[in-house]
Chains A and B, each alone.
Chain A
């Protein structure tokens, strides 16, 4: 019987924990959540041991609940991520992130001749494949890219 594991990072009283992020996608996820400009206490763990992923990243944000649209944007680069909502040290809600059909405004199109790179406008990508790998396609120039290779704005 396994004993209770040591916590790699301090427990959270209230807030959001996003777990099971592939280490390689961790800092993209930080960017997507806009944590660079967040005043709350943020704990970021990288290259932590994970049975599922080998190593994983984890993000804890104190006293903050994200709306699901924001969280689901992470699914593009970290489809394995799991969101935990913490209230008074208890997990009150736990669910995986879900990739939406259309991704507005967070991915830069890799095609320099795309209109989105030349006009002040939002980008739009349609998810054209989910398995075995996420592939998204620019609504404007039709350029397709793997979710893991997507350039985050």
Chain B
């Protein structure tokens, strides 16, 4: 196992998170350089994800590295029945770094155990997606000027939303206050509320996306409410519009409020919010490039 691998945000310390944020800031100022000159990076996407793959590949390209890999498991040897272990050991012979996405949970952790080449987890099923968490942290840090003592409202699918769970856990170092806004079917799981209690993190929980909640927030983190998550389709029809953000709802919000969303968005943020300067979700996606450049250079042990 290579110690520079990144499988879960829970594996790295507060200092490492802060150092990655500093790296991300450096790359925002210097997005193009040749520091990966001569390096070869594999992007192994056992599960297709265009957005994440383009972001990682852009990050490598802008730093002058070369990329091999596949974006569709149908074209890889795993379609012929090769084990993950064999695929990883084979690719590890060729490259300096493996970036992988897999539909099975724990795949990236297992990959780190079978190779000395560093591995970056670009998503393993519903489990972990640490580069998303880093770009969320960087977006919060950049827009608020700090990570400490912020009120963060999470809205939508808090039950299955991997991004909100990882963000919640990563924020434990920074004394946040959370508001959890979701229907009963998609409420924040008990284990994460227990986590908040254990870490002394204050939180409120409501089904109502009320003006009080909105106006007290520094960050509103919207997530997509997916129809297939509901056992009862009537329940979906009833709640789908309750957690949609409209521009008028932001009239009395704090001036420093920013709206985040991991994208893709469907209808949970009305397009009339897009022109509001508090809308930040497109810039947030752009920050993903810098956060991933930071993660890649750390994984390769490159000082900047």
Q: Which residues of A contact B (CB under 8 A)?
A: 111, 113-116, 118-121, 138-144
Q: A113-B125, A113-B126 are in contact. Are A138 and B83 (CB under 8 A)?
A: no
Q: A113-B125, A113-B126, A142-B127 are in contact. Are A119 and B103 (CB under 8 A)?
A: no
Say whether B105 faces chain A, with CB atoms less than 8 Å apart: yes
With both chains docked as a complex, state the minimum distance between the C-beta of B292 and any C-beta of chain A, in angstroms. Answer: 23
Tell which of A116, A118, A119, A141 touches B127, judged by Cβ atoms closer than 8 Å: A141
With both chains docked as a complex, state the minimum distance between the C-beta of A110 and any C-beta of chain B, in angstroms. Answer: 12
Say whether B184 faces chain A, with CB atoms less than 8 Å apart: no
Q: Which residues of B contact A144 (CB under 8 A)?
A: 191
Report whether A115 and B83 are in contact in the complex, using a CB–CB cutoff of 8 Å: no
With both chains docked as a complex, state the minimum distance between the C-beta of B252 and any C-beta of chain A, in angstroms. Answer: 40
With both chains docked as a complex, state the minimum distance between the C-beta of A112 and any C-beta of chain B, in angstroms. Answer: 10
Q: A141-B127, A142-B127 are in contact. Are A116 and B106 (CB under 8 A)?
A: yes
Quick one: closest B residue to A117, CB to CB? B104
Q: A119-B110, A121-B110 are in contact. Are A141 and B105 (CB under 8 A)?
A: yes
**Could you say which interface size class chain B belongs to?**
10 to 19
Say whether B85 faces chain A, with CB atoms less than 8 Å apart: yes
Quick one: closest B residue to A141, CB to CB? B105
Total A-B Cβ pairs within 8 A: 47
Quick one: closest A residue to B102, CB to CB? A115
Cα distance A144–B103 when bound, in Å? 19
- Within B96-113, the residues touching A (CB, 8 Å) are 102-107, 109-110
List 6 interface pairs A-B (beta carbons < 8 Å), by A numbering. Answer: A115-B124, A119-B83, A120-B83, A140-B109, A140-B110, A141-B125
Cα distance A120–B110 when bound, in Å? 11
**Interface flags, B47-83, vs A, CB<8A=1, else 0:** 0000000000000000000000000000000000001
Report whether B85 and A119 are in contact in the complex, using a CB–CB cutoff of 8 Å: yes
Q: Which residues of B contact A (CB under 8 A)?
A: 83-85, 102-107, 109-110, 124-128, 191
Residue among B102, B105, B128 with max Cβ neighbours from chain A (10 Å): B105
Q: Which residues of A contact B107 (CB under 8 A)?
A: 115, 140
Tell which of A113, A115, A141, A142 touches B84, judged by Cβ atoms closer than 8 Å: A115
Q: A113-B103, A121-B85 are in contact. Are A139 and B109 (CB under 8 A)?
A: yes
Q: A119-B83, A120-B83, A142-B127 are in contact. Are A111 and B110 (CB under 8 A)?
A: no
Quick one: closest B residue to A144, CB to CB? B191
Q: A121-B110, A140-B110, A142-B127 are in contact. Are A113 and B83 (CB under 8 A)?
A: no
Q: Which residues of A contact B128 (CB under 8 A)?
A: 142
Residue among A111, A139, A140, A142 with max Cβ neighbours from chain B (10 Å): A140
Cα distance A114–B107 when bound, in Å? 8
Q: Which residues of B contact A118 (CB under 8 A)?
A: 104
Residue among B83, B125, B127 with max Cβ neighbours from chain A (10 Å): B127
Q: Which residues of B contact A119 (CB under 8 A)?
A: 83-85, 110
Cα distance A120–B114 when bound, in Å? 13
Report whether A113 and B104 are in contact in the complex, using a CB–CB cutoff of 8 Å: yes
Report whether A115 and B105 are in contact in the complex, using a CB–CB cutoff of 8 Å: yes
Tell which of B83, B85, B103, B106 touches A140, judged by Cβ atoms closer than 8 Å: B106
Q: Which residues of A contact B124 (CB under 8 A)?
A: 115, 141
| Known contacts A114-B106, A140-B107, then 12 further A-B pairs from the complex at CB < 8 Å, ordered by chain A residue | A111-B105, A115-B102, A115-B109, A118-B104, A119-B84, A138-B106, A139-B106, A139-B109, A141-B127, A142-B105, A142-B127, A143-B105
Report whether A114 and B104 are in contact in the complex, using a CB–CB cutoff of 8 Å: yes
Cα distance A115–B106 when bound, in Å? 5
Q: Which residues of B contact A143 (CB under 8 A)?
A: 105
Q: Which residues of A contact B103 (CB under 8 A)?
A: 113
Q: Which residues of B contact A121 (CB under 8 A)?
A: 85, 110
